[in-house]
């Protein structure tokens, strides 16, 4: 008899993975952790019954949350990753030889241990890289207290439940801004607009209170079901306005190992939004100011 892993993310809709073999199942201080060999996507990591990543399609998410902001920035040397216990983001970031130090703050040490043991195809040797500083703790407390400053902050957060709720608060993003060097970029996963439209609107509204520029770009991650996944960004300059020749040139110079999703064409294509997604975004700050002047 076939056993299925059922994930009910949205009311009235669920997805199922065939479970070939359960490799790990346990309960940490924060959540239920499960790794299983699936029928179609290789090994799957689930936390509290929600798929976090799979060997079969993790490359889309992890490549797009790292290479796009790194190459848009052009001189990233220090990176902060909040969450990201599976090590997938860390592994992609470290592909850039120009990056000198990466701090990863993950609240649940159990996720890191499970990833090291069962998900080496996702994290590689990233946890033992000498540029990695691993902190087991709350990302919100880290950005509140640290004296470190970063060129890039990647918020690899799950949905807003449990300890991750703080990773959706204004106080957290105010403190993220505090730890960012001038010109630094912040990126975060923001769910699937087809099912989570208001969450995207709320994220951009929040970013607009803190940064001069923000927006979203898209990628399709098969196991984050229901179409495009949105990745939001914030910065004190417009990262969509970088000369494409610069990004192509930076990409050539980075000499990254073979990637499976990101390339400089996708970099710019990802900012093109279908109308229903564009309508979810509040007007940019500059547009709002102009509109306010007109009505005076
Ligand atoms: N790609 C993912 C998804 O499906 O949304 C997110 C993956 S990653 C495994 C998310 C991690 O964030 C989890 O390991 C979780 O323990 C961690 N996390 C949750 N709240 C956190 C917090 N306040 N500080 C640091 N890490 C946190």
Could you tell me if 81 and 99 are in contact, meaning their C-beta atoms sit under 8 angstroms apart? Answer: no
CB atoms within 10 A of CB 97: 10
Nearest to 65 by CA among 280, 272, 259, 279: 259
What's CA 231's distance to the chain center, in Å? 7
Task: Locate the ligand 1 atom nearest the alpha carbon of residue 50 and give its number.
Answer: 4
Of these residues, 156, 159, 202, 252, which one is catalytic?
156
C-alpha of residue 167 to centroid of ligand 1, in Å:
9
Catalytic residue check, 156: yes
C-alpha of residue 102 to centroid of ligand 1, in Å:
17
Task: Locate the ligand 1 atom nearest the alpha carbon of residue 163 and give its number.
Answer: 20
pLDDT at 287: 55
Q: Could you give all domains of the chain from N- to C-terminal order, each with its CATH number?
A: 3-54 (2.30.140.10), 58-290 (3.40.50.150)
C-alpha of residue 86 to centroid of ligand 1, in Å:
9
C-alpha of residue 279 to centroid of ligand 1, in Å:
28
pLDDT at 8: 86
DSSP conformation letters of 9-62: EETTEEEEEEEEEEEEEEE-SS-EEEEEEESSSSEEEEETTEEEEETTTHHHHH
C-alpha of residue 107 to centroid of ligand 1, in Å:
7
Task: Locate the ligand 1 atom nearest the alpha carbon of residue 85 and give its number.
Answer: 14
C-alpha of residue 252 to centroid of ligand 1, in Å:
32
Q: Whose C-alpha lies nearest to ligand 1, atom 17? A: 83
Tens of pLDDT along the chain (296 residues) come to 899 999 988 888 999 999 999 999 999 999 999 999 999 999 999 999 999 999 999 999 999 999 999 999 999 999 999 999 999 999 999 999 999 999 999 999 999 999 999 999 999 999 999 999 999 999 999 999 999 999 999 999 988 888 899 999 999 999 999 999 999 999 999 999 999 999 999 999 999 999 999 999 999 999 998 999 999 999 999 999 999 999 999 999 999 999 999 999 999 999 999 999 999 999 876 656 655 665 54
- What does the alpha-carbon distance between residue 68 and residue 264 come to, in Å, rounded to a whole number? 8
Query: Could you tell me the pTM of the whole model?
Result: 0.96
Task: Locate the ligand 1 atom nearest the alpha carbon of residue 166 and give its number.
Answer: 23
User: Where does ligand 1 bind, in terms of residues with CB under 6 Å?
Assistant: 47, 52-53, 61, 82-86, 105-108, 111, 138-140, 156-158, 163-164, 166-167, 189
Q: Whose C-alpha lies nearest to ligand 1, atom 18? A: 83
Task: Locate the ligand 1 atom nearest the alpha carbon of residue 156 and give its number.
Answer: 6
- What does the alpha-carbon distance between residue 132 and residue 18 come to, in Å, rounded to a whole number? 35
pLDDT at 239: 98
- What does the alpha-carbon distance between residue 152 and residue 173 come to, in Å, rounded to a whole number? 13
Which residue from 59, 153, 158 has its CB within 8 A of the most atoms of ligand 1, so it is best to mutate? 158
Q: What is the CA radius of gyration of the chain?
A: 19
Which residue from 29, 85, 103, 223 has its CB within 8 A of the most atoms of ligand 1, so it is best to mutate? 85
CB atoms within 10 A of CB 143: 26
Nearest to 187 by CA among 71, 13, 270, 66: 66
- The token duo for 54 is 């799979």
- What does the alpha-carbon distance between residue 174 and residue 170 come to, in Å, rounded to a whole number? 6
Which residue from 62, 83, 111 has its CB within 8 A of the most atoms of ligand 1, so it is best to mutate? 83
């Amino acid at each position: 008899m076939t056993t299925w892993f059922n994930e009910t993310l949205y009311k009235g809709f669920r997805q199922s993975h065939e479970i070939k073999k359960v490799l790990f199942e346990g309960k940490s201080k924060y959540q239920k952790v499960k790794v299983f060999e699936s029928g179609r996507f290789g090994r799957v990591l689930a936390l509290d019954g929600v798929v976090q990543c799979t060997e079969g399609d993790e490359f889309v998410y992890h490549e797009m949350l790292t290479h796009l902001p790194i190459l848009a920035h052009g001189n990233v040397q220090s990176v902060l990753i909040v969450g990201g216990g599976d090590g997938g983001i860390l592994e992609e970031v470290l592909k850039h030889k120009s990056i000198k130090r990466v701090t990863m703050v993950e609240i649940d040490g159990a996720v890191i241990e499970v990833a090291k043991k069962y998900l080496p195809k996702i994290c590689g040797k990233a946890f033992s890289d000498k540029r990695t500083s691993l902190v087991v703790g709350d990302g919100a407390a880290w950005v509140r207290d640290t004296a470190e400053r970063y060129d890039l902050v990647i918020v690899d957060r799950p949905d807003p439940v449990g300890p991750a709720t703080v990773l959706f608060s204004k106080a957290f993003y105010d403190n993220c801004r505090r730890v960012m060097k001038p010109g630094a970029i912040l990126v975060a996963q923001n769910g699937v607009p087809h099912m989570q439209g208001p969450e995207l609107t709320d994220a951009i509204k929040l970013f607009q209170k803190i940064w001069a520029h923000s927006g979203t770009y898209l990628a399709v991650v098969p196991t984050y079901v229901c179409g495009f996944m949105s990745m939001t960004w914030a910065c004190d300059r417009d990262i969509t306005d970088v000369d494409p020749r610069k990004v192509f040139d930076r990409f050539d110079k980075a000499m990254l190992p073979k990637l499976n999703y990101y390339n400089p064409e996708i970099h710019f294509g990802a900012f093109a939004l279908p109308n229903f997604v564009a309508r979810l975004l509040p007007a940019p700050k500059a547009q709002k100011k102009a509109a306010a002047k007109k009505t005076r």
